[in-house]
Every structure is written in structure tokens, then in C-alpha cells.
Amino acid sequence: MISSVEPIPVTVLGGYLGAGKTTLVNRLLSGDHGRRLAVLVNDFGEVNIDVDLITSHEGETISLQNGCVCCSIADALGESLDRVLALDPAPDQVVIEASGVADPAKVAAYGYGWPGCRLDAVIVLADAETIQAKAKDQFVGELVTRQLRGADLVLVTKSDLVSPEVLDSVLDWVRSIAAVPVLPVSRGEVDPEVVLAMSRSDLDVGSARVATRGTSPLTDAEAMFETATLALPGPLTRARLEATMSLWSQDVVRVKGIVWVAEADGGNAQPHVVQRVGLRWSIEPATTNIDQETEGGRLVVVVLRGTLDAAALIKDLVDAE
Amino acid sequence: MADITVFTARRVRTMEASMPTAEAVAVRDGRIVEVGTLENMAPWLDGYDHEIDDTFSDHVIMPGFIDPHLHPSMAAVLLPMEFTTVVEWDLPWSDIGAVGGRVELLDRLIELDAKLEPEAPLFAWGHHPIWHGEVDRETLNGISATRPVIVWHRGYHSMIVNDACYRWMDIDLEAARRHPQIDVDRGAFFETGLGVAYRHMNSFLLGTERFRAGLDRMRQVIHHGGQTTIGDAAMGMYGFEDEWEHLKAVMERPDTPFRIQLMPFDMGPVGDEESDEAMIERILAYPQRNTHRLRFSDHVKMFADGGFFAELLMLKSPGHLDGRHGEWMTPPERFERVARAFWNAGLRIHVHCTGDLGVEMVLSTLEKLQSERPRFNHRFTFEHFGISSAQQVARMAEVGALASVNAYYVYELSRAFADHTLGYERASQMSRLGSLERAGIRFAVHSDFTMAPAKPLNNAWVAANRLNESGEVMCANERASLDAAIKAITSNAAYVLGLEDEIGSLRWGKQADFTILEADPYDVGAEGLRDIPIWGTVFEGEKFPI
């Protein structure tokens, strides 16, 4: 059962023109991620959807066989958001493609403020080949820098088009501006699990699916991340969960799961949805009925491969308790 | 009915250098056949049945005033509202005094509450914290516990409402509470929070009856300002076909004493759905639907940086006083691409441009286009022209740019922007008309109504005096001369719209559009321009007294 008040996660995709937002949107719309996404784009012009996958195209909205919809914002983001929130069934997640000259942090206000929504993450894309030059441009340099500063997660795109040395220096440069996870991406191949929140359909079928998710057909992308899943042996206090998670570094790209959380030691534990992207995280009571198959719930942690031991992170969490 | 009507006047001010003044204008079928003296008109008058109309024997006939840049649709939303701004508005249906401070604002709201129908929402536009201080939900509950009261920011930034308005909007307050840009306790909606408010209000504000009533008020405003031609500088802001139907229904009537030049616009960052070629084809087809008073031509509008009143102008160093940032309305790359497509298609481009970085972006694009494919007579026009440098003006002259300037910024904003937004040096030099004149650049002044009152004489007065609402002269060296200020609402405004062969001055063959004044502006001088009473207008030979 899904409560009607469960807020829908909203992801804002930002970044200057040419950063690869549309490529990512195309991938999300056609991807095999099992979620019904509503993707709000500035225009359909560049969205490249296989016509065989389109089930209907009415006015500003294109519906796809996989349950996703793509909706043109025109110049009324609020109206478009209302339109997709009113869909039946409701989408699992809304992705807003911000305009290239928008400050994504401002667009994000729609995510955390619009009735029925919660902000999942601001993801900003940066073109490995041009980002540093753009950041010095007399007309848009300040804006491009501000876009990066507003991110919870930065994807450095077209990283296959520069040498490894250049890529390293670009990644370092981005990190010097934005203290968040910074991930290189080639050919738009980013694991949807990094971009997308845990969906309501994940919750709907119980936590078991959380553990089986996270595999992607994109082998390159898979190789970039390491995912650890752990069934927690018992409830955690909110204070412990917050304290431990706040110590995790920016190499922790995403955390999601259901955890039985008690407000105080020995208190009554309730299932909570835990989501973290970069340094933005939330612990909200689950309004969906959860089949309790473990004592404490499950957490999925995605880290950059080779940077951290994901299993050890979760072990820290449990040991600390 | 005679073939020819001859309007005689105390003076005819032609705005033609060859014959600056005359005594009479002979008109046939809405067009001028000759300007001069009755004596010199004898060859016409001997040959045709004619009548002498001496209605204006004690008045001055001027070319019909032209306001080349305003927004009828925005006005249609706003004009049904109550005005409570820090400056006075002389609207055809009432004179509205300035609302100078917080106490005055509350007094005005109490007065309006007593006047309105019991259930009608009270929309008051014009609040600005710099002058009116803070107003919140409780303040407005004090105005009325039962009537929705909405206080809207002068620059459309924010909205304060009372509890009755929450009930009227039927808004989910718990959801609104989570919105970072809605302060439920204060009753304040700002930035993106405004979107939440609009969705509860738009069916009311944009309802056909209310919108058309607003447009009808706009008709009166234009007539009272003495304009016989206006430019709609972004046709279709609220939906092209809807606006077209509303405009036809309200404006295309025999008793509308003006015509509207309609400018389609590039959608900016949200327009990529349509190829540039398709957009140009669409724009070139619009004139096919022209009616008598509603006309498209080869002029198009583009947008560079954000609004001036909204303080979203893009600035070169040292930027905004408080470190805030402006906004690009169109990404510079898209701007260049679309401007090139328009330029190469022979269209005449007008660009909304408010800050000196905006001017820089637009000017460097124009320089590029001129070197790729030189054009003369292109009428590329910088619109608004808030902040610029003298060096940019010199470059504008090199590439043949024009300017259509909101001079009124100086009156209402120069002191506030000096203190809060830009510092004194830049604020005092906003809307630099003196530099344009010295560089030989032809310029118009416009109202951008409802940004400024749609009163050409008032805007010419600001242009020639640069007095602000605090009574200070802001940068006397950037004043326009009296002659340039008057050309800016007549002949040069016509030039900016590409209509110089039709309107803007009085000579044979032009439209018989006159603005009838009680005094000659050249006698009155710059100081008195805004106080010259207007008798009314003549539109295509027909008299329309105010």
C-alpha cells in the first residue's frame, strides 16, 4: 500500500549547455531501471526516443512503454510538475532538466517545496573538455561555477574524450569547487542507480528488492562503482545513524534503504527511508507498509570503486551501535 | 462629406527639419496630403471639395506619439488591480497618489477594502520594502478578516496574503510550509513560491472576462497618454493564439484610436523544440494575419539578461552591490545562433538588455554578425538599456545600433539602486541618453508599461531632466536634449519600429495621426514637458478627444 502523502523524489539535472544533460535524459527514459520516471525537459527537440517505445504523445506529454513519461516544461515548471504529479499511477520519481542558464540550486526549490515532492538530489553535469574554459568565460563563467557549487553530485561527462591526465586534473579542479562526489562519465553511461532515488515500487514490494537492485546492463558504469548491501541485525537510534553517516566521505556516492530507527535508545523502532546523495541526506518515516524480513532493515551503499570499502562502512555503522 | 479635411492649429509641430512648424494639415482618407499654410495648400483646396476644421485653433498639433515598447498582456493582468506604488499614477479612471510609506500603504488598503464589493479579492500592486517596509499576513488580516487581500511586489518578486486569501486559494498550508520560498506565517510567497500562488490565482487573473476588461483599460491608458502607435514588444507571453483572440476582440474596433505593432519573440532557453528555420518561417508568416490596427512586420524580439526592476541584470565588474547575481534569459551561445539566423534572414532584431554585461554580450554578437555579413539599415535595437558604459555606446555607433530606452528607470530607481543595488556612479548613469545623443545614435524612449507609466511626455520629461522621485538630478551629462527627447517619442520612435515612412512626423503621404497638445513642447522647455495638457488625439484623420 502506498500512502497518498508519500512525497515523490525530485532530481534536478543542471549544468551548462552541452554538458550532456539531454544524453542522460535519453538514457534515463529508455533505461531498464524499473521505475516510472517523469522527466521534465525544456523541449522535446533533442530528446531522442525510439518511436516504437512511444505509446502516446499528447500535447506536452510523451508516454513510453516502460511507464516513463517525458514532459515539456515550456516556460511553466510549476504547471508541468502539477501535470506529472497528477498522473495515475503517480510517477516513482520526477527528474527536472534545468535550463543551461538556470541556477540548479534555485530550480531545486521546486523539489523541496512543491506540494507532494521532496528533493532527492541536485546533479550537475560538466563537460570534461570545456568546463574549465567555460568557468573562465566572461559571460557565463560565474554562472557555470555557481552551478557546480549548487550540486550534490557532479558528473564529469565526455571523460573518454580527454586523456587520463587531463581527466584527473579536471576532476581535481571540480572537487576544488564543489565538495561533493565527482564522477567521471563516458558516453553518457552512468548507472541509473546513482542518479535515481530508491523508488516507491522498491518499497512496495518489500526491502528484498533493494538488495537485488543495483546491477546495470552498463558494464563500463558498473565497473566504476562498488555497491554493498547489508541486512542490519537490529534497529539503530537516529542519533547513531546520523552521527555515523555524517562521517562518511564524499566518495560515498549514494546511500539508500529502509532502516528501523528509534528516536532514543531502547525506544520503539519504526521503518524509515534513508536516502543520501553526496552530502544531502534524509531520514524520513516510511509511510509504506514494509514487510519486515530483517530486524533492522537494509542499506545499499554505492561508492566509487577502489576508494572505500563499502562493506566496511556498513560494518562501522552496525558495530558502532 | 468633403474629400479633404484641413486641420488648422495655433501651431503644427512637424518634426521635419525642412519645415519644423506649419499652420495647417490637409488630410484625405486618413492620410496627409499636405502640411503648410492654407495659402500654399490652394492647389489642393481649389481642386477638391474640402472643409476647414478649426477645433485645434488654440492647440498645437504634434505627430501622434509612439511608445515602441510596452506589454498589453501584462497590463491586462495588472490594470484590474489597485495600484499602491511609491510614485503617482494618473490613470484614465482615477488619479492615484503616491503611496510613500508603510502607514500610507495600510491607509490605502483600508480605504480600498471599504470601497470594493464584499467578496471581491483585493489585489494591490506596488509594494516595495525599500519604501513600504515589511507587511505580513497579520497586517493584512487587520485589513480584512473575510476578503482575500493580496499585496504584490512592484517588480513582481513576491506576494503577501492574508488568511482569507489562503481560504480563497484553497491551498494546502502544510505542503506550503515545506516550501523554502513560502513563509506561511508571514503570508509571503516569493520566487518559485509565487508559482504555487499563481496556480491558485491564474484562472481568476487570466479569465477571459477579467483579461479583456484589463485590455480595455489598457486601451484607455494608451489613448490618455496621447499615443497613436504602440509596439507590443513580446506578443504571446501568455499564449500566442489566446492573446491574438483577446487583442482582436478588444483592440480591433473603430473606437480604438491607435495601432499596435506586434513583435514575436525568441523563446530563449526553452525554444529549442523548433528549428531556427521553422521559427523564422513562422515569424515571416505572421503578417498574413494583420488586421487594420494589429500588425506584424519584420521586427523580432530577443532577450539577453534579466529584468531591471527585478535586479536580475547581468553586470560586469564590480557586479551587484550586495553580491547577488543576475540571470541570462537566453544562453549566450543560443543568443548568437538565433541572432545570426534572424540577421541572415534579414529580420530586424530588438534585444531586451539591462546590464552592462548584457550589453557586452549583445554588442559583441552584433559586431560578429556585422563582420560576417555586413548589413545597413538593420535597425538592431538595444531595448531598455539600463546600465552601459560610454565605451560601449561608441561601439554601438560603429555597428549602426539603435536604442529604445526606459528613461523612467532614472526617476523611480536611481536613488534606490544607488543605495541598494549598484552604488552611486553606475546608478546615476543608468539609461545614458546624453552619450547616445553625442554618439549620433538614434534612440526612442519607451514605457515598457507597466514598468513605467505609458505617458510619452512624462518619459520624455525624465529623459531631458533626469530628476528622480527624491528630487535629485542624476548625472546631468546624460540628459537628452529637448529636441532628442521629443524625437524619442515621435520621429526616432517611428524609426526604431521601421515605420518612419508612415508615422513619426507630419508631411505629405504619412498617416494623419496627431497628438493634440495645449502647448508646444519647444516653447515649454524640458522642465515642463510632463505637465503639458493633452486634448486628445487624431487617429487616421478622426478626432478622439480625451
**Which tens digits make up the pLDDT trace of A272-283?**
888 888 878 888
In the predicted structure, residue A46 carries a pLDDT above the cut 70: no
pLDDT band at A214 (very low <50, low <70, confident <90, very high): very low
Chain A residues with CB under 8 Å of B278 CB are none
Residue of A nearest to B182 (CA): A113
Contact: A99, B270; criterion CB under 8 Å = yes
Residues of B in contact with A46 (CB under 8 A): 272
Answer yes or no: do A17 and B331 touch at CB < 8 A. yes
Q: How confident is the model at residue B395 (pLDDT cuts 50, 70, 90)?
A: very high
The least confident of A250-264, B134-148, B269-283 is: B269-283
* pLDDT class of A182 with cuts at 50, 70, 90: very high
pLDDT at B145: 95
Judge: A106–B192 Cβ closer than 8 Å, yes or no.
yes
Q: Which residue of A has its CA nearest to B271?
A: A43
Q: How large is the average pLDDT for residues A69-84?
A: 82
ipTM for this model? 0.76
Interface residue A47 vs chain B (CB under 8 A): no
pLDDT number for residue A288? 65
- In the predicted model, is pLDDT for residue B520 greater than 80? yes
Residue B502 clears pLDDT 90, i.e. is over it: yes
Nearest neighbour of A113 by CB, restricted to B192, B198, B329: B192
For testing contact with chain B, the best of A101, A112, A137 (most B CBs within 10 A): A101
**Distance (Å) of CA A257 to CA A198, A206, A209, A285, B108:** 7, 11, 10, 12, 56
Report pLDDT for B284.
96
Beta bridge partners of B34: B26
* pLDDT for the residue B272: 57
Considering only CB atoms, which chain B residues are within 8 Å of A146? Answer: 325
Give the residue-averaged pLDDT of A3-23: 84
H or E stretch covering B539: strand B534-539
pLDDT at B505 over 50: yes
pLDDT mean over B289-296:
98
Give the position of cell 555597428: B399
Q: What does R_g of chain B's alpha carbons equal in angstroms?
A: 24
Closest CA to B16 of B35, B39, B40: B35
Across chain B, mean pLDDT equals 94
B31: helix, strand or coil:
strand
The answer to whether residue B44 scores a pLDDT higher than 90 is yes
Cβ–Cβ under 8 Å, residues A63 and A55: yes
What is the percentage of chain B residues whose pLDDT exceeds 70?
99
DSSP A115: T
pLDDT digits (tens, 9 = 90+) for B174-223: 888 877 778 999 999 987 788 888 888 988 998 999 999 999 999 999 99
Is A222 touching B (CB cutoff 8 A)? no
Q: What's the Cα-to-Cα distance from B90 to each of A286, B94, B96, B224, B471, rounded to whole Å?
A: 58, 6, 6, 9, 19
Residue B320 has pLDDT above 90, yes or no: yes
- Is the Cβ–Cβ distance between B537 and B512 less than 8 Å? no
pLDDT at res. A229: 77
Between A279 and B494, the more confident residue is B494
* A196 compared with B352, residue with greater pLDDT: B352
pLDDT > 60? residue A126 = yes
Give pLDDT, residue A282: 83
pLDDT at A171 over 70: yes
Rg (CA), chain A: 19
Interface test with B, best of A72, A99, A117, A140 (most B CBs within 10 A): A99
Instruction: Give CA–CA dist B305/B32, Å, rounded.
Output: 41
CB contact under 8 A, A99 and B327: no
CA B28 to chain centroid: 31
| CA gap A265, A74 in Å, rounded | 51
Which residues contact residue B453 at a Cβ distance below 8 angstroms, ignoring those fewer than 6 apart? B89, B90, B225, B408, B447, B459
Q: What is the pLDDT of residue A34?
A: 84
Q: How high is the pLDDT of residue B113?
A: 96
pLDDT per residue as tens digits for the range A77-111: 888 888 888 888 889 999 999 988 889 988 887 77
pLDDT at B263 over 60: yes
Q: What is the pLDDT of residue A215?
A: 39
Which residues of chain B does A109 touch, with a Cβ-Cβ cutoff of 8 Å?
A: 179-181, 191-193
Pick from A85-89, A131-135, B495-499: least confident? A85-89
Nearest by CB: B172 against A73, A75, A115: A115
B297 pLDDT tier (thresholds 50, 70, 90): very high
